[in-house]
Chain A
Amino acid sequence: EPEVTQTPSHQVTQMGQEVILRCVPISNHLYFYWYRQILGQKVEFLVSFYNNEISEKSEIFDDQFSVERPDGSNFTLKIRSTKLEDSAMYFCASANEGLRNEQFFGPGTRLTVL
């Protein structure tokens, strides 16, 4: 069964450093998303991407964040200058046309900012 994959599973970085989180969505999917879950809090939306552009972003997704789909298969989230409060589980998701409107989530990348 096709699945969304994410690398790395755990990333530790120093405050102020840049990180790139990588995702490989399901191959025929058209919609792509990043969410995050800070420990003990809700899963919260960051950004959605469709037709090679951002379709929506949350107020969390400020100028420090960017997304790319560089080669038609990978979907990346870059944080330019990490802050302590960026420590969270980051989930990539993808979706396709269909009746159920479900988004398929990857296993997540745990980002720890020291």
Chain B
Amino acid sequence: DQQVKQNSPSLSVQEGRISILNCDYTNSMFDYFLWYKKYPAEGPTFLISISSIKDKNEDGRFTVFLNKSAKHLSLHIVPSQPGDSAVYFCAASEGYGNKLVFGAGTILRVKS
């Protein structure tokens, strides 16, 4: 099942710089997209979401961009902090309250 793909297994960024995590999807019926952060031995923690009627959503240091024609979304973290180091999952759903389909995750390392 490759409906949601995160092609970069890892990303390393200097503290204070921008982190850009990418996600592609194939199912055009997805209408909600979410980003989760996960530390080892913990459950995924919700970061930010966007519905398909928008192309950008911002919450503090986190911004998600959605390009429906390219079936692509990205998460921007500005400025990156060492505490942001974690695994980031992209997820998508068809309809509100329905199951989430997850990507494989990207390990982000923010170096101080």
Q: Please report A residues at the B interface, Cβ cutoff 8 Å.
A: 4, 31, 33, 35, 42-45, 48, 50, 55-56, 58, 91, 93, 95, 99-108
Contacts and interface: CB of A to CB of B under 8 A. Distances in A.
A58 B3 CA distance: 15
- Chain B interface extent, by class: 20 to 34
Interface stretch (B12-20, B21-29, B44-52, B75-83): B44-52
B49 A102 contact: yes
B101 interface: yes
Nearest to A98: B96
Contacts of A33: 99-100
B104 A42 contact: yes
A40 B81 CA distance: 26
B43 A107 contact: yes
Contact of B32 (A44, A55, A101): A101
B98 interface: yes
Contacts of B45: 105
Given A45-B101, A101-B96, A108-B42, 18 more contacts: A33-B100, A35-B100, A42-B105, A43-B89, A45-B100, A50-B97, A91-B44, A95-B97, A101-B32, A101-B34, A102-B49, A105-B43, A105-B45, A106-B43, A107-B41, A107-B43, A108-B41, A108-B43
Residue among B36, B100, B105 facing the most chain A CB atoms (10 A cut-off):
B100
B99 A45 contact: yes
Contact of B44 (A43, A48, A58): A43
B104 A31 contact: no
B44 A105 contact: yes
Contact of A31 (B46, B91, B97, B102): B97
